[in-house]
Amino acid sequence: MGRGGENYGKRENAGAASSKQETFPAWARDVKQCEEKYQVNRELGLPSAEVEKRRQIYGLNELLKHEPTSIFQLLLEQFNDTLVRILLAAAIISFVLAWYDGEGGGEKETTAFVEPLVIFLILIVNAIVGIWQESSAEKALEALKEIQSEHADVIRDGKKVSSLPAKELVPGDIVELRVGDKVPADMRVLSLISSTVRVEQGSLTGESEAVSKTVKVVPENSDIQGKKCMVFAGTTMVNGNCICLVTEIGMNTEIGKVHSQIHEASQSDTDTPLKKKLNEFGEVLTLIIGMICILVWLINVKYFLSWEYVDGWPTNFKFSFEKCTYYFEIAVALAVAAIPEGLPAVITTCLALGTRKMAQKNALVRKLPSVETLGCTTVICSDKTGTLTTNQMAVSKLVAIGSRSGTLRSFDVEGTTYDPFDGKILGWPVDGMDANLEMIAKISAVCNDAGVEQSGRHYVAIGMPTEAALKVLVEKMELPEKYASSSAPGDPRRCCQVWNKMVQRIATLEFDRDRKSMGVIINSSSGNKSLLVKGAVENLLERSSFIQLLDGSTVELDKYSKDLILQVLREMSTDALRCLGFAYKEELPEFATYNSDEDHPAHQLLLNPSNYSSIESNLIFVGLVGLRHSNKTSRILLGKRFIKQLKTAKQLGFVLWSLQETIRTQQKLFVAKLVYSDIVKISLPGA
């Protein structure tokens, strides 16, 4: 925790002191105990006077601003290399000798200084490239601040304060979180306003699945993923809304601890394999060249030093300083000629090109030699799918109902990103969408809380990756001709916007793990109420009584059609696809006059999630989709107990090594050690 960049030293000391204090395990205490600990009432919040007192104690809710590395220090680091130091010494000696020759009446022309000037130029270019690269990477150490929330809805003095700057939060504040909000601090969940609350916390845990939150206590020794009554700074709300109590801010949050670890790692000075080899080469080269120069100089001693023997003892020494200097220049010239002046420049150029290519993939490297470390990595050992994928989903297969009962149609969908223009749907009907495909598009667009936005050159998901992938599918499906004129051509969200404009969402039946589905009640332009549902295919089939055919007509869901759909589901699941089914319901008598009025009798049904399964009954099944992950790496190492991941790994295109093969061929495997202090930031498009 800190109070501003101007008090950096004090902040660091305060942060160190506070970290030593015993942390209150809010996750292992019930709501009442937490309120008593932080002396706050959830209905009233903290009074303004108390807020100021706590701010004086805890500081602002922001991450530390570490002092950046000075340009002078970066310059010195560029010469922390044996080969570079050899070149620098050779250049200085060559320059001094060239100057001395000129002063002595020798050749004091431009040609005499060509060699030292060229060496100096190589060293200057090498230093400039290194400083530029590290200066750019230093800025990436602030990347963690980008995932911090900027505003929060807080209750203070019994009033709700909207869009309060998140840095002004203090422990004990009462905060309301909604779908899409970034969590501004580590907080204890006090109450759920919606039936379910889910938070995507992959930035801390690496897990791709959103975590359902609760108010119930958990064991004190639980890990981050197990603290289901806590929400953490930097994570994102993907479903529901809730009331929370701030427990930790600033550097005491989990993301603050990660920030501290990255800073500590960045201060370590671990040499990469390339730098070690270059240093070894420089030391050997120095030794060999030094011995040769001394040997050449000693061979020519007789030309500038002579003596006579008198009574067996050398006397009458004659020394020629000019000749000594001449032969010393020959030795130095030989040393300079033996030094590969172009090697540092070639290495720097190659590594700079490597960092440029990696930057195009959103990977920023702090030190140039680390490019070689990453480049020689051939095997990555992992124990979970979430580490292998980018937390990015894409629909790869669409299955719709055919023209008669017992028939299905399958379409392959190209593209692996959230870019709506990335690929198309193969085998799409030439005459456009039929009624069945229209319903699939409508459910995908409307029964959906996610979004897709363009960020720089990439498209990113806002909300759950699975739902964002469905939004991309809708755009690839295009619009029926009757609606095409009402959209703006070229808009990557135009199709979803059209489908949402045609209806009005008046209620949401939120997802839960029991029924494994999500539903929305909509009001069409004609005033009729209907229900759109998406969820696990098996669960939807159990609650479906009909299927919709190609022309929009409905027929009873018989056993043959159900078995056929389940067979396709098994095949898609075998190919490591995550499957989602779609269904709808046209008649909702209890909601015929409902328009989100809390006094309406139907509203009471929505307050109890146990009623959702009965509302989502007698559905009309319309189709399903298969979604796949995007992969991060090209080769993985799997143990025996990870056999269930083989299908996923194969689908992602990995080269698989079993545990036995690894033991037999361990001499052929090379697992490069990644120097964490040199790898500042690695992200992938859409991740």
**428: CATH:** 3.40.1110.10
Residue 404 domain-assigned (yes or no): yes
User: What value does the mean pLDDT take over residues 240-248?
Assistant: 92
Find the helix packing angle between 114-140 and 342-360, rounded to 10°. Answer: 20
What pLDDT sits at residue 282?
A: 77
Alpha-carbon span 107 to 506, nearest angstrom: 92
Residue 216 domain-assigned (yes or no): yes
The residues facing 308 across adjacent strands are 315
| pLDDT tens for each residue of 264-287 | 766 665 666 777 777 788 788 878
What pLDDT sits at residue 128?
A: 76
What pLDDT sits at residue 49?
A: 92
* Shared domain check, 604 and 455: yes
**Which CATH number belongs to the domain containing residue 227 in this structure?**
2.70.150.10
What pLDDT sits at residue 673?
A: 30
pLDDT at 122 over 80: no
| pLDDT tens for each residue of 37-47 | 999 998 999 99
For residue 574, give the H/E element and its range: helix 559-574
pLDDT at 674 over 60: no
| pLDDT tens for each residue of 8-34 | 333 344 443 344 446 789 999 999 999
Buried b (16+ CB within 10 A) or exposed e, 254-293: bbbeebbebeeebeeeeebebbeebeeebeebbeebeeeb
Residue 471 domain-assigned (yes or no): yes
What radius of gyration do the chain's Cα atoms show? 34
Q: Which residues are catalytic?
A: 383
DSSP 46: B
| pLDDT tens for each residue of 254-263 | 888 887 876 6
Lowest mean pLDDT among 8-17, 138-147, 615-624: 8-17
Residue that wins the pLDDT comparison between 214 and 641: 214
**∠ CA 290-120-125, rounded to 5°:** 120
**∠ CA 370-371-374, rounded to 5°:** 85
What pLDDT sits at residue 300?
A: 83
What pLDDT sits at residue 558?
A: 93
Residue 330 domain-assigned (yes or no): no
What pLDDT sits at residue 6?
A: 36
Residue 484 domain-assigned (yes or no): yes
User: What value does the mean pLDDT take over residues 581-604?
Assistant: 87
Which are the contacts of 595, defined by CB distance < 8 A and separation ≥ 6?
Answer: 506, 523
The last residue of a domain, from among 631, 661, 677: 631
pLDDT at 437 over 90: yes
What pLDDT sits at residue 598?
A: 78
The last residue of a domain, from among 202, 221, 255: 255
Which segments within 477-528 are labelled E, that is strand?
A: 503-512, 517-524
The last residue of a domain, from among 255, 290, 324: 255
What pLDDT sits at residue 686?
A: 36
Residue 232 domain-assigned (yes or no): yes
Residue 453 belongs to domain spanning: 389-631
Any idea how long the chain is?
A: 687
pLDDT at 479 over 70: yes
Residue 12 domain-assigned (yes or no): no
Model confidence band, residue 205 (pLDDT cutoffs 50, 70, 90): confident
Model confidence band, residue 226 (pLDDT cutoffs 50, 70, 90): confident
Predicted structure pTM score:
0.53
Residue that wins the pLDDT comparison between 181 and 104: 181
Find the helix packing angle between 273-299 and 321-338, rounded to 10°. Answer: 150
Residue 161 domain-assigned (yes or no): yes
Per the structure, the count of domains in the chain is 2
